């Protein structure tokens, strides 16, 4: 014998029970996307910095290199970024560190910094 109404509404109840798990999965996937994007931004900024640094005279290299690397980061990502290197002769290397945000760039950052590294041979001789 079946009860009156049977299993009516069961799917709705199960969906409501799964909603927090679905939302948590989406948030974790979004955070993984932000980590990957931070790696992409750090690598691109290091490439741009070393490209500008190899063409600059040695006395101006650090400033030109740093400015070019930070130019390619938007304001929200630029806040926690660090640029090092740029001052070698012969083979110029640049390291860019970018903080990984929690859910939205410009808000709270994880205590995790991703690094991008690039190097190129110097073009200008002083």
Is the pTM higher than 0.85? no
Tokens of 120: 């190129």
Q: What is the pLDDT along the chain (126 residues), one digit of tens a residue?
A: 556 656 667 777 777 888 899 999 999 999 899 889 889 989 989 888 888 888 777 777 778 888 888 887 888 777 778 888 777 777 888 888 888 888 877 777 777 888 888 888 876 555
Exposure b/e, 107-120, CB count within 10 A at least 16 = b: eebeeebbebebbe
């Amino acid at each position: 014998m079946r009860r009156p109404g049977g299993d009516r509404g069961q799917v709705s109840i199960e969906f409501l029970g799964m909603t927090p798990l679905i939302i948590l999965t989406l948030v974790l996937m979004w955070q993984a996307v932000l980590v990957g994007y931070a790696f992409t931004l750090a690598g691109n900024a290091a490439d741009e910095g070393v490209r500008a640094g190899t063409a600059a005279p040695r006395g101006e290299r650090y400033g030109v290199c740093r400015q070019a690397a930070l130019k390619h980061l938007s304001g929200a990502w630029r806040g926690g970024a660090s640029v090092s290197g740029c001052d070698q002769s012969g083979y110029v290397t640049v390291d860019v560190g970018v903080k990984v945000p929690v859910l939205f760039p410009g808000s709270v950052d994880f205590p995790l910094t991703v690094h991008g590294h690039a190097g190129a041979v110097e073009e200008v001789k002083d």
